[in-house]
Amino acid sequence: MSGSNRLQFHLAPGGALRGTLRVPGDKSISHRAIMLGSLADGVTGIRGFLEGEDSLATLGAFRAMGVSIEGPDDGRVTVHGVGMHGLKAPSGPLDLGNSGTSMRLLSGLLAGQSFDVELVGDASLMSRPMRRVTEPLARMGAVIEATEAGTAPLRIRGGQRLRGIDYDMPVASAQVKSCLLLAGLYAGGRTCVTEPAPTRDHTERMLAGMGYPVAREGSRACVEGGGSVRAASIDVPSDISSAAFFLVGASIAPGSDLLIEHVGVNPTRTGVLEILRLMGADIEVLNPREVGGEPVADLRVRHAPLHGIEIPEAQVPLAIDEFPALFVAAACAEGRTVLTGAEELRVKESDRIQVMADGLRALGVDANPTPDGIVIEGGAIGAGRVDSCGDHRIAMSFAMAALRASGDIHIDDCDNVNTSFPGFVALAAGAGLSIRAEGE
């Protein structure tokens, strides 16, 4: 998908973030809207769809399986659902680019189809762990071939009779939970997943909102196979994971006062708000409302002096995608910030602990990776060159670091920002970041 790796960000130091903005649609919800809309009976209209490469990879996969999908057009997508058993064999492997969510959720959804399918992706995705889904799926009766290392390509054999299982997840992963619940729609009997800590629950909410009952008992979610999904109108809120860069940027840059509108504030996603507040951030949650079964609010963030903290481990799954940005906040805080219990960060789009530590050190910050986290001593941010290693969230996090840097920051390998945040450069520049992209 995004193969060239030539895009660089160049940032001049200083500035403040001011005004009102809206970041693109939620990536997790956009994926699920395409998936469930495709399986539904009837026509699903989506608004606020994220037109990023990851969610477009999901959209392309369903088109390749015979689903007629119009758009995206300014965030509007129309999905002509084919029903639970209406997908068709694609003519070749499904290329899911950089998108872990597409691959893990699709492996469950496709395990119970009548046809074979192969899932592939870019170099990062092909090196990410897939046993966490293939093992429990095999227990359900799925037949999936992976590499010896447990990575993609995943070859899913169709025509299997799946049976429900009761699965205790060893890692707190919404992708694994969603994968198994989606497989459970096609399984005989009941499929239950118990999570060791709360993870994002968009799949459960959307299934229930589209008429497919999900039993939720504490940390356990269960579905009964054999039901059907009703078409719906889905309004995707802005992605709090994309808002996170601006929450951090405005917090660290003196003179900032920013309003970020229509942000999804599902309580399984708001760890970034909690952690920043513990560090002393000034964030107001305004006008809370519910849109299509998901809580939404406007977030006002003003500059505030931050201090280092020990990040509560319970917050880790609730802020799992926001740590690159939070590490930049920690680098600008007074004192030491300690993260533990976050080994999952090592198997995201990059090893986010190592890549962030390397980048922070390149800017003169004292950052020490540990097996399951990092220790960051707050202080001054220098100038320098950082390699984002093709990880969208790392590129955008270091862009925000420029607000407090002593000189220019150059960030390499930024193409993948388009996987989750198309238009980042223009939006950030409009808010006050001195950013220039080169090599497009």
Q: Which is nearer to ligand S3P, 71 or 198 (CB)?
A: 198
Residue with structure tokens 């996090």?
397
Instruction: Measure Cα distances from 131 to 144, 165, 388 in Å.
Output: 10, 17, 26
Q: Which is nearer to ligand S3P, 67 or 174 (CB)?
A: 174
Candidate residues 175, 251, 350, 418; the one interacting with ligand S3P per rule CB under 6 A: 175
Pairing of strands 215-217, 220-224: antiparallel
The pattern of x and - marking residues 91 through 120 that bind ligand S3P according to CB under 6 A reads ----------x-------------------
Task: Name 223's bridge partners.
Answer: 191
Q: Which is nearer to ligand S3P, 81 or 324 (CB)?
A: 324
Q: Which residue is nearest to ligand S3P (CB)?
A: 28
Q: Which is nearer to ligand S3P, 61 or 362 (CB)?
A: 61
Q: Which is nearer to ligand S3P, 175 or 191 (CB)?
A: 175
Q: Is 366 a catalytic residue?
A: no
Of 87, 111, 102, nearest in space to 163 by CA: 111
The pattern of x and - marking residues 302 through 341 that bind ligand S3P according to CB under 6 A reads ------------------xx--------------------
Chain centre distance of CA 69: 23
- The residue range among 157-165, 170-178, 350-358, 371-379 that interacts with ligand S3P, by the rule CB under 6 A, is 170-178
Closest distance to ligand S3P from the beta carbon of 303 (Å)? 28
At position 333, the amino acid (one-letter code) is A
Candidate residues 64, 174, 356, 386; the one interacting with ligand S3P per rule CB under 6 A: 174
- The residue range among 80-88, 133-141, 173-181, 362-370 that interacts with ligand S3P, by the rule CB under 6 A, is 173-181
Please report whether residue 58 would count as binding ligand S3P according to CB under 6 A.
Answer: no
Report the C-alpha gap between 400 and 249 in whole angstroms. Answer: 5
- The residue range among 112-120, 169-177, 332-340, 429-437 that interacts with ligand S3P, by the rule CB under 6 A, is 169-177
Residue with structure tokens 């956009």?
30
- The residue range among 70-78, 84-92, 156-164, 168-176 that interacts with ligand S3P, by the rule CB under 6 A, is 168-176
Please report whether residue 28 would count as binding ligand S3P according to CB under 6 A.
Answer: yes
Candidate residues 2, 113, 173, 350; the one interacting with ligand S3P per rule CB under 6 A: 173
Closest distance to ligand S3P from the beta carbon of 424 (Å)? 16
Candidate residues 41, 116, 344, 358; the one interacting with ligand S3P per rule CB under 6 A: 344
Cis status, amide bond into 196, omega within 30 of 0:
no
Q: Which is nearer to ligand S3P, 300 or 352 (CB)?
A: 352
Instruction: Measure Cα distances from 88 to 28, 38, 39, 92, 116 in Å.
Output: 24, 11, 12, 12, 10
Candidate residues 2, 107, 178, 416; the one interacting with ligand S3P per rule CB under 6 A: 178
Q: Which is nearer to ligand S3P, 35 or 299 (CB)?
A: 35
Please report whether residue 416 would count as binding ligand S3P according to CB under 6 A.
Answer: no
Q: Which is nearer to ligand S3P, 175 or 256 (CB)?
A: 175
From the list 122, 239, 298, 321, the catalytic residue is: 321
Closest distance to ligand S3P from the beta carbon of 167 (Å)? 14
Q: Which 190-219 positions form the footprint of ligand S3P (CB under 6 A)?
A: 199-200
- The residue range among 138-146, 174-182, 205-213, 283-291 that interacts with ligand S3P, by the rule CB under 6 A, is 174-182
Q: Which of the residues are catalytic?
A: 321
Site residues, ligand S3P (CB under 6 A): 28, 101, 173-175, 178, 199-200, 320-321, 344
